[in-house]
Amino acid sequence: MMEVQVFGTKKCSETRKALRFFKERRVRVHFVDLKERAASPGELRRFAQKFGVESLVDREGKRFRDRGLASAHRGEAWWLETLAEDPELLRTPLVRARDRLTLGCDEAAWKDWLAGA
């Protein structure tokens, strides 16, 4: 049986879509609410290696604007540390099933995962 880990927040509509997608297909979900427990820098690094650290940053989000990061040109290590400390800057959901990862709501990839399970 397939099991996924979803990182996000309850108020994020994309995260709620992901949780609903897996629930409707009776996939066991371990939800990590980033408001309660931040993703570790190591966990974030895993996503950054696949997608690039820049793609993890929600540049359209309110938190990004509020912190005035639009002109921030920082290194990968700084971003990983900042994203771990301030998860509201993350583009969510981050979804992991063993070694497979997605960023954002990616139903096409999730359907592929289920087809191969």
pLDDT by residue (tens digit) across 87-110?
999 999 999 999 999 999 999 999
Q: What is the pLDDT along the chain (117 residues), one digit of tens a residue?
A: 789 999 999 999 999 999 999 999 999 999 999 999 988 888 999 999 999 999 999 999 899 999 998 876 788 889 999 999 999 999 999 999 999 999 999 999 999 999 987
Show me where the domains of the chain are located: 3-116
pLDDT by residue (tens digit) across 55-64?
999 999 899 9
Q: Is 17 helix (H, G, I), strand (E, B) or coil?
A: helix
* CATH architecture for residues 3-116: 3-Layer(aba) Sandwich (3.40)
Nearest-angstrom CA–CA distance, 7 and 94: 5
Q: Give pTM, 2 decimals.
A: 0.91
Nearest CA to 12 out of 100, 112, 109, 105 is that of: 105
